Amino acid sequence: AVAATRERARAVRGTQDWMGGLPDGTALQRLTIPGTHDSGARFGGPWSECQNTTIAQQLESGIRFLD
C-alpha cells in the first residue's frame, strides 16, 4: 500500500496502519483518504448491494471513511 501526500509518496507495510506512515503534522487537505460508498450495503441483491465485507473488515483493511 502507498500513503501519498503532495510532497512525497511513502511505502507502508500493510494497509491497516497506512496513516502511521505519514509525517506528524500532515495537513488533512494533502491526503487522499480511502473510503467506501454505501459501506453497510452488503445485502439486497444487484440493485442495492455495494460491499461484500463488513464495516469492521473494511476498517481492518485500511478504509478510513464510510459513506
The alpha-carbon radius of gyration of the chain (Å, integer) is 14
pTM of the model: 0.66
User: What are the Cα distances from residue 29, in Å, to 33, 34, 41, 46, 53?
Assistant: 10, 13, 28, 35, 28
Strand locations in the chain (E): 2-4, 9-11, 35-36, 65-66
Residues in the chain: 67
Digit-by-digit pLDDT tens for the chain (67 residues) are: 444 444 444 554 567 788 888 899 999 999 989 999 999 999 999 899 999 999 999 999 999 999 9
